[in-house]
Structure 1
Amino acid sequence: MRILGVDPGMTRTGLGLIETTKSGNVQAIEWLTIETPAGLPLPERLSELAADLKQYLDETKPDLAVVEKLFFATNKRTAMDVSHARGVIMATLSSHGIDILEATPLQLKTAITGDGRADKKQMQSMVKRTLKLKEIPTPVDAADGLALALYGAFTKKFF
């Protein structure tokens, strides 16, 4: 089963693709980001995000996607921008018939590290260890995508 983790963002959306087998093996296929230019008007940025994600989904054909739920305490503008991106992401995944699972940062951190207050370095270290990678995946948005994909594998008992 192919599981895609998506860390939504307006400037940079992190993607992490893993594959699980019935025997319980899991491997990272790839991790990357989709970026939209900050100078473009919002509708054009959203359209570009949708088009790039659509192309990626057509090429990789994931069975399940895990999208991070929003949690912002202070910056309302950032929260609104990410909400727009998240809506486009959810609609694009749905239009491809991909099952969608959502995870809060607390759920994600608890599942990956056992500690809901884990920091980025702890998360990246556990992703590296779990997927048997030689180095910590970068950029951080893509590493978060891999963590979300692992969450999907843990939650759906594919691992």
Structure 2
Amino acid sequence: MRVLGVDPGLTRCGMGTVDAGGARRVSLVDMRVVRSPAELAPHKRLLIIADGLQEVIDAFKPDVVAVERVFAQSNVRSVTGTAQVAGIVMLAAARAGLRLAMHTPSEVKAAVTGNGRADKRQVQVMVQRILRLASLPRPADAADAVAIAIAHSWRGSALSDEEPDQAQHGGAGTLPRATGGDLTPAQRMWAGAERMSRRHGAVAPAAKNDV
């Protein structure tokens, strides 16, 4: 399975593509950031992001697109741009006939680090270890996108009987149906993050400085 992970942002949109195999094996295919200048009109900035995304889809032909779910906290201007880019990603996936999944930041962090509140540096370090890279993946937006792709790859292997299109229509979808003893520590952390998200509403991350 080839997964394209997208960390949506108007100034910096991270995109990371990985190949996933059995036994939680993942390998890096591509990692990049598409940037749009802040001085441009919003619609022209979105076009730059859309063109960059389409280039990645055409070049690497993913089977599924996984994008970070957007939450509003306090910076409305920032989250608006991020949500607009997420919409561009969703549209591109639909046009390409690809499955779409949406994951919260805490789910992704828990999946790759075992800590739903990990910072960007911790995510970078774990992505480096998982992919056996010679150096930390940079910039951080690209590392976040790769983490999203890895998290979706691992989550898919942990599920026993999820409906094929559930990720398209229900965001993160159901929890792994294996028993607690069958899950890795990171998967158990992820399951807890999903339960807390449904019970209390997902905790929004600090808004991106993305205007």
Taking structure 2 as the reference length, the TM-score comes to 0.71
Alignment partner, residue 123 of structure 1: 123
Alignment partner, residue 134 of structure 2: 134
Alignment partner, residue 66 of structure 1: 66
- Residue 22 of structure 1 and its aligned partner are, at CA, apart by 4.3
- Residue 21 of structure 1 and its aligned partner are, at CA, apart by 2.7
User: Is 1:97 matched up with 2:105?
Assistant: no
**Higher Cα Rg: structure 1 or 2?**
2
CA distance in 2, matches of 1:24, 1:155: 9
- Residue 109 of structure 1 and its aligned partner are, at CA, apart by 1.0
Higher relative contact order structure (alpha carbons within 8 Å, sequence separation ≥ 6): 1
Give the superposed CA RMSD. Answer: 1.4
Alignment partner, residue 56 of structure 2: 56
Unaligned 5+ segments in structure 1 are none
**How many pairs were matched up?**
158
Per-residue CA distance 1:15-61 (angstroms, 9 max, x = gap): 11111234653211121011112111111111221122112211110
Alignment partner, residue 29 of structure 2: 29
Q: Kindly report structure 1 stretches of 4+ aligned residues shifted beyond 2 Å.
A: 21-25
Which AA in structure 2 matches 1:121? R
Which AA in structure 2 matches 1:147? A
Alignment partner, residue 5 of structure 2: 5
Structure 1 or 2: more strand by fraction: 1
Which AA in structure 2 matches 1:134? A
Identity of aligned residues (%): 37
Which AA in structure 1 matches 2:146? L
CA distance in 2, matches of 1:132, 1:101: 25
Taking structure 1 as the reference length, the TM-score comes to 0.94
Alignment partner, residue 20 of structure 1: 20
Contact 1:19/1:26 (8 A) holds in 2 = yes
User: Is 1:78 matched up with 2:51?
Assistant: no
Q: 1:24 to 1:80 in 2, by over 3 A?
A: closer
Contact 2:24/2:154 (8 A) holds in 1 = no
Contact 1:65/1:152 (8 A) holds in 2 = no
Unaligned 5+ segments in structure 2 are 159-211
